[in-house]
Amino acid sequence: MSTCGTSSRVLVVTGAASGLGREIAVQALEQHWTVALLDRDARAVTATAHELGALAVAADVTSPTELGTAFAIVAERLGALDGLVNSAGLTRPGPSSTLPETDWRTVVDVDLNGTFYACQAAFPYFAPDAAIVNLASIAAARGLPERSAYSAAKAGVVGLTRSLATEWAPRGLRVNAVGPSWVDTPLIRRMVQEGAIDLKEMTDRVPLGRLGTPRDVAEAVLFLLDRTRAGYITGQTLFVDGGFTFAG
């Protein structure tokens, strides 16, 4: 794997200790980015960074103070930021009529507020022509039962993406989102094992007939980060969903 300092292109990935964030970091390193992994789990992100050859920074995306410190560290160590991927997120499914307030607040705070706080904290350190990619979801476009907090938060991410894209364009920043559908991650596998998700029912609803892979999502993210291939794309949400979103 690549190591810190091998490229002038600097990328920060939040929620990078595992799952989609980790895969995005892997693909970015293969494309010769210098990558900083940011995650609230200090032990896990340090281990992942050591394995991949990246910089580890521990911070909770729900804390603007911690994020401010984290991005200052990254800029001091690696220089100006060419990219930011907001991958930190979680969900707490449950009937909306009885969803605990703590679950609602936790999901919105991590998925939506955390995305905004990270963009805000990174803003002073962006290089010209930098790019942000936020992780949205098909839940932003489809009504998913018992996913009210997640759907609301991810719809908010889409709206935030559009707003920042127009506001920050004069700075040269592009801001886009990627909206995955069901992706084969440890979280999905655990939910299948727990009976929270019916795998066959899920894949039957996807026109391409399979779960997405983390690499499917990572490749879309890296495309949107690329100033050569996607330099005139901003404010968009690219659904990586096997056709699910618009299948009816």
Amino acid identity of 230?
A
pTM, whole model, 2 decimals?
Answer: 0.94
What is the distance between the alpha carbons of residues 50 and 45, in angstroms, rounded to a whole number?
Answer: 8
Catalogue the E-assigned strands of 40-150.
Answer: 55-58, 81-86, 126-135
Question: Can you tell me whether residue 129 is helix, strand or coil?
Answer: strand
Amino acid identity of 181?
S
Query: Which domains does the chain show, CATH number per domain?
Result: 10-240 (3.40.50.720)
Task: Give the neighbor-by-neighbor strand order of the sheet with 126-135.
Answer: 55-58, 34-39, 10-14, 81-86, 126-135, 174-180, 237-240
What is the reported pLDDT for 3? 42
What is the reported pLDDT for 4? 46
Of the candidates 117, 125, 150, 232, the residue annotated as catalytic is 150
Mean pLDDT of 143-172: 96
Cα distance between the two ends of the chain: 42
| Banded model confidence at residue 151, pLDDT cuts 50, 70, 90 | very high
Q: Any catalytic annotation for residue 232?
A: no
Does pLDDT of 83 surpass 90? yes
What is the reported pLDDT for 8? 74
Q: Where are the alpha helices (DSSP H) in 32-100?
A: 42-52, 64-78
Mean pLDDT of 95-113: 98
Q: pLDDT (tens digit, 9 = 90+) per residue, 161-174?
A: 999 999 999 999 99
